[in-house]
Amino acid sequence: MIRRRATAVHVLRAAGFVPAVLLAVWFIMPSYRGDLTDYEAVVRIRDRTGKPLRLVPEGDRIICVPVPLDQSGRWTASALVAFEDKRFYRHGGIDTVAVCRALLQNVLHGRVVSGASTLTTLVVKLTEPRGRNIWTKLVEAHHAREIEANLTKDQILEQYLNRAPFGGNIYGIEAASRRYFDKPARNLSLAESALLVGLPQSPTRLRPDRYPARAMRQRDVVLSRMFENGLITYDQLMTARDQPLELRRQSLPFLAPHFCDFMLQRYPGRKHLETTLDLEIQRLSENALGRRIGELASRGVTGGAVVVIDVRSGSLRAMVGSPDFWNATASGQVNGSVAGRSPGSTLKPFAYTAAMDQGWCTPATMMADVPMQFAGYTPQNYSLEYSGPVSVRQALVQSLNIPALKCVEQIGLDAFVETLRRLGLSSLNRGADHYGLGVVIGSGEVSLLDLSNAYACLARNGTWKPLRFVAGEPEGAGHRIFSAESTYMVADILGGEERSNELVGHMADAVLPRVAWKTGTSSGHRDAWAVAYNPEYVVGVWLGNPDGSASDALVGGSAAGPVAGEIFRGLYPGGDSPWFDKPDGVKERMVCACSGLPPAVTCSAMEQDLYIPRISPVQRCAIHRNGEEHWPAEIQAFMERRGMGDSSMVSAGSTLRIESPADGETYHLLPSTPGVRQEIRLASSAVSDAALYWFVDDELLQRADALQPVFWPLAKGAHTIACADSAGRTARVRIVVE
Ligand SMILES: [Zn+2]
How many degrees, rounded to 5, is the angle at CA 238 between CA 237 and CA 240?
65
Between the CA of 600 and the centroid of ligand 1 the distance, in Å, is 6
The one-letter code for the residue type at 586 is V
Across residues 350-376, what is the average pLDDT? 90
What is the full DSSP assignment across 19-59?
Answer: HHHHHHHHTTPPPP---SS--TTEEEEE-TTS-EEEEEE-T
- Whole-angstrom Cα distance, residue 351 to residue 616? 15
Across residues 49-56, what is the average pLDDT? 83
β-bridge pairing 42-46 and 272-274: parallel
Which pLDDT does position 170 carry in this prediction? 84
For residues 432 and 321, is the Cβ–Cβ distance under 8 A? no
Catalytic residue among 193, 337, 342, 345: 345
Residue 482 DSSP label: S
The one-letter code for the residue type at 538 is V
Closest CA to 363 of 382, 385, 390, 387: 390
What is the full DSSP assignment across 686-711?
Answer: --SS-EEEEEETTEEEEEEETTS-EE
Between the CA of 632 and the centroid of ligand 1 the distance, in Å, is 13
Residue 69 burial (CB < 10 Å; 0-12/13-18/19+)? buried
pLDDT band at 498 (very low <50, low <70, confident <90, very high): low
Between the CA of 159 and the centroid of ligand 1 the distance, in Å, is 81
Percent residues over pLDDT 90 in the chain: 50
**What SS3 state is found at 720?**
strand
Between the CA of 598 and the centroid of ligand 1 the distance, in Å, is 8
Closest CA to 188 of 73, 77, 67, 68: 73
Residue 556 DSSP label: I
Between the CA of 603 and the centroid of ligand 1 the distance, in Å, is 4
Which pLDDT does position 197 carry in this prediction? 94
* Cα 587 to chain centroid, rounded: 36
228 catalytic, yes or no? Answer: no
Between the CA of 14 and the centroid of ligand 1 the distance, in Å, is 113
Phi/psi at 713 (nearest 5 deg)?
-70, 130
Q: Which residues hold their Cβ within 5 A of ligand 1, which is an ion?
A: 592, 594-595, 603, 621, 623-624
201-205, 466-470, 596-600, 648-652: least confident range: 648-652
Q: Which residue has the higher pLDDT, 330 or 687?
A: 330
Percent residues over pLDDT 70 in the chain: 85
Between the CA of 625 and the centroid of ligand 1 the distance, in Å, is 8
**What SS3 state is found at 288?**
helix
Q: Which residue has the higher pLDDT, 453 or 514?
A: 453
62-66, 195-199, 486-490: least confident range: 62-66
Reported as type and span, the H/E element at residue 403 is: helix 401-411
Beta bridge partners of 611: 587
How many degrees, rounded to 5, is the angle at CA 579 between CA 578 and CA 582?
140
Query: 432 CB contacts (<8 Å, ≥6 apart)?
Result: 413, 414, 416, 417, 418, 439
For residues 173 and 73, is the Cβ–Cβ distance under 8 A? yes
Between the CA of 617 and the centroid of ligand 1 the distance, in Å, is 14
**What SS3 state is found at 219?**
helix
The number of beta carbons lying within 10 Å of the beta carbon of residue 443 is: 17
Between the CA of 606 and the centroid of ligand 1 the distance, in Å, is 8
For residues 105 and 134, is the Cβ–Cβ distance under 8 A? no
What is the full DSSP assignment across 78-109?
Answer: HHHHHHH-TTTTTSSS--HHHHHHHHHHHHHH
Please say if the pLDDT value at position 653 is more than 80.
no
For residues 435 and 414, is the Cβ–Cβ distance under 8 A? no
- Whole-angstrom Cα distance, residue 212 to residue 693? 89
pLDDT band at 644 (very low <50, low <70, confident <90, very high): very low
For the stretch 149-180, pLDDT in tens is 888 999 999 999 988 999 888 888 988 998 89
- Whole-angstrom Cα distance, residue 91 to residue 640? 103
Between the CA of 667 and the centroid of ligand 1 the distance, in Å, is 20
Between the CA of 369 and the centroid of ligand 1 the distance, in Å, is 18
The number of beta carbons lying within 10 Å of the beta carbon of residue 601 is: 8
Catalytic residue among 84, 174, 192, 659: 84
Closest CA to 527 of 718, 325, 303: 303
Closest CA to 293 of 570, 521, 562: 562
Which pLDDT does position 38 carry in this prediction? 58
Please say if the pLDDT value at position 647 is more than 60.
no
Q: pTM of the predicted model, to two decimals?
A: 0.68
Between the CA of 366 and the centroid of ligand 1 the distance, in Å, is 10
Please say if the pLDDT value at position 182 is more than 90.
no
Between the CA of 593 and the centroid of ligand 1 the distance, in Å, is 7
Between the CA of 604 and the centroid of ligand 1 the distance, in Å, is 7
- Measured CA to CA in angstroms, residue 45 lies from 257, 307, 515 at distances of 11, 18, 32
- Computed over every residue of the chain, the mean pLDDT equals 85
Q: Which residue has the higher pLDDT, 357 or 115?
A: 357
Which pLDDT does position 712 carry in this prediction? 84
- Whole-angstrom Cα distance, residue 162 to residue 65? 7
Between the CA of 485 and the centroid of ligand 1 the distance, in Å, is 25
Between the CA of 97 and the centroid of ligand 1 the distance, in Å, is 104
pLDDT band at 637 (very low <50, low <70, confident <90, very high): confident
The number of beta carbons lying within 10 Å of the beta carbon of residue 255 is: 18
Which pLDDT does position 508 carry in this prediction? 44
497 catalytic, yes or no? Answer: no
β-bridge pairing 666-667 and 679-684: unpaired
* Cα 208 to chain centroid, rounded: 41
